[in-house]
A and B are shown apart, each in its own frame.
Chain A
Amino acid sequence: MSDITKQSLSGLVENIKSKKLSSSEVTKAFVERSEKSKELNAYITEDYTNALNKAKKFDEKPNLDLKLPGIPMAVKDLFCTKDLKTTAGSKILNNFVPTYESTVTQNIWNEGAILMGKLNCDEFAMGSSNETSFFGNVQNPIDKNLVPGGSSGGSSSAVAAQLTPITIGTDTGGSIRQPASFTGTVGLKPTYGSCSRYGIVAFASSLDQAGPMAHNVKDCALLQEVISTYDEKDSTSIDFKRNEYSKELTKDIKGKKIGIPKEYRVDGMPKEIEDLWKKGIEYAKDCGAEIIDISLPHTNYALPTYYIVAPAEASSNLARYDGVKYGFRADGENLIDMYEKTRSEGFGAEVQRRIMIGTYVLSSGYYDAYYLKAQKVRKLIKNDFDDAYKKVDAILTPSTPSSAFKIGEKTNDPVSMYLNDIFTVPVNLAGLPGISIPAGHDAKGYPLGLQIIGKAFDEQNILNIAYAMEEKINFKNNITDWWIK
């Protein structure tokens, strides 16, 4: 089967379960394609030999009752993987090999999947283009000069380029949904508390959430039901009834009320995005959903709020990278000098910028004006959604205000880079689930995504809506394998 890597996860699972394909065949196909795709720079660490060995072992005694039997998978390099280097895209962790496994990845291996390697990402997940990675930028398989989005840029690129059948990313302000949108793939950010944060290198603890990135909604639902578990090791993990999302997936969304928030019609939004949104509304109607205009009045404040809360938490979360215990250390005259050199050399510019912003907003005299106020606004943003959900079951918005931009285009303009998160950030602030599905192309032929935002713990509903719309949209990604010589 020469087209193994073109198959969806669900297709591969079916073929392995029916013994039409072995894990070794599947793993070999993805490893070979990954090896031919080095130019994309999607991987930071490859673990192909181990993967092939594990596949062989799986085939010797296959457990076909598992949900991901012998499926090879590369994951974002923000997830700690036992005995395999975990860098978070940073020089400061360039030599760090965890002795432990994150809960989310452990859940995946428990269902039979096999680790192929670690995927590139923005340094400590801080970025919207994967250009802040210490290991270099990642190319978007859509076009050589395009960013794959970020921070889960290696993940989106790897899925779109079929280097892995599916993957996981993390989403703090849009880091799953925006790259999914930029690469014509599906990305789900689950409800805060749905997936354990244990073993995930922290960026902003109150916002970080792991989630699946896939070719289609059904695959996404399957991986979500694998990774979402209650975990006592994460005090913010929530013990709620989790569905078997893939089994309960339905295209019947008749009568579902979908809200269209007027505040998302931002100034200067390209007409293409406006048109895509309108098209999305029509698709939703075609599926039998009822469209209702709603208001989320504090939307405007979401981005500034996010860029106070997230750096504040990050500035504290990243204090542990001090050269004392593990990771990179620069020699210094004394302790303070060692700290300064280690952190100046070990962190890249964007991470340093955010640490400084975060340190500033938490400083005495500024705390009330920035951090405390941001927390209050965050509550208002959450209240907006709560009010809206009295009237609607889900909310439909564009995923991003533009299609993928060019590599280097925004690197010197952090604010314009931050503006990319404008539609995704409110969802993180409110702790809600959101999914981005590919919904069309712009004039240049680049993919554009639509975002469906749900109520807390209502992943099933937005997956269903996405599943129904996906069929109507019938999106085809336009990837030419230009990087394969």
Chain B
Amino acid sequence: MDLSGSQTRQTIITLGLLSGALILFTGAVGMIAAFHEREIVRDFITLGQLVLLITPFIFGYTAANRLGMTGEAPIVVLGGGIIIGLLTALPTTIMLLFNSDEFRFLLDWALRLAPFVLATAIAWRLYRQNVETLTVIGSWLLVAVLLGIVTFSLALIFEVKGELRSVLVNINRDWVEVVTFDHRKDLMRGIFIFSLASVAAGFLGSLCYYVPRTPRRALFYGLSVTLLVGAFGETVRLVLQENLERDTLNQLFRRDTLRGNAALGLLVVSTVIGYLWAAFGDRARQGFQNLGGQQRQTTGMIGTVLFVALLLMLPWLIGRTLSDVAVTIGLFVLMGLGLNIAIGLAGLLDLGYVTNYAVGAYILAVMTSIGPLGLMKGTFSFWMVIPIALLAAMFAGFIFAVPVLRMRGDYLAIATLGFGEIIGKLAISDWLKPLIGGAQGVQAIPKPIFLGTELKNPEQLYYIVLVACLITLFVSIRLNNSRTGRQWMAIREDEDVATAMGIDTARAKLLAFTLSAATGGVAGAIFAAKVGSVFPNSFTVFISINVLSLIIVGGIASNPGIVVGAVVLIGLPELLREFSDFRFLLYGALLIMMMINRPQGLIPTKIVTHEIRAGVKAKAAAGD
């Protein structure tokens, strides 16, 4: 195999090690073992195993794409896939050996040798760069001593603690079980199988580069649909339960997992559909674009009507459990749309959005509760308090906005974060206990009553949330195109220029904060009514971060983006319980990756995309 080009070698090694590090990391934080609990296809593959296999596959494909682009021979490209597979397995294999009783001594030796090897490597690099000899020796000593301290401490920790597991809690039996494909007893065999699977996945990934475009896309569609249906087996089953006979269902599913033959059938069907779409989809889109304005408008109208009809019928289609999830998603859409006014339109990074949510929830709780803390004892109904909660939240938004009007960017973000924390601490304090119950919160909040029926099921509450979302959406679209919206955008771009243009920035910012607070209050009030009680623990910084993440991921200032962001970021962890432990880990990673690779979000607006491009161009022009 010819791997002479250093560029080629570097690509393969970097991607391979990255993939390996990813596998080891997901294992060490417990993701792989947790995901193993969820079977995608019965007796065939679990989500944990899928992660193990899909990582080398994707990295193999990426490497093949890069190498193929530079015109490497197929043998190099495919060989690269194999090497990536091997490198993917390497870190995890080393960890497996360290973890086993027989090869424990390897860990000790590695810790003893690491300082010298690494120090020598660094010194060698410096030497090659023609650094003075004295400096090279000095840096060798420094690195060796510092690393020596670390490895000595690590050796001490593992010596005293015994097993790796007592420090790294997730390097445990479950993890070994998964990565060795159930060969924990026979470790060597397990490692062999794991490496082989990883190599095969890497090889297949690089092979995919040579599959023609249309079948490749078809296969991609088919596999993703099958894997998604499998992973969300529970959800899909719940949906189908509403609409299918029990016997038919049992042929497709066994409890919550897809049966093998059902999965195969689904794969074939979705691949065929995917093939048709890949082959003729472009032509269909072309045809749509060739339609006259009138016809296009009609098609668009029909689409909208169908979509609204679907939204209206959703609770019947998906059943109770999923309606509950839909309500949660709806609440976050509501908050996302609200916060978007501040962040997306006016560019004010508000990290204390939870304040408004808490105000809304507590107002509703105190006003309607029939428990000891209720002020009105049932004289006020849900419908009367919703506007009060809205106004109260707007008032809170106003009050908190006044002091921060002069602040910009990052200072504003930290100050609002401070507000959020203050509210949290006040809610739990003894000081306000007589009013809002301290840590015990407020209980006995009655459900809303609409035309004599008590709306106690999520299917019914769903409509309240839906209506609130639609109203907010309408207002937000109108605001976006209004004079105020333009003012906000001007402030977002450059506050000084906006002032110079004669915009009253203080007024515009105040308006943005106040309006953005309103939906937070409504969401809080609906949340309180849904749960039936309010605890201070529900109002942490995590709410603010959740809302922020869904805006960023969906696309700043983009309404469809926010809906998609909410469905993905809120819905996913609710539906895949295995995800919920790693929710903020993934959010964090997602925020970093989005900011680096796609700052405009998944579904960006034209303006934001344009601005980011313009920014990049300006940066390039400035030579930075």
Partners in one complex: no
Residues of B within 8 A of A (CB): none
Residues of A within 8 A of B (CB): none
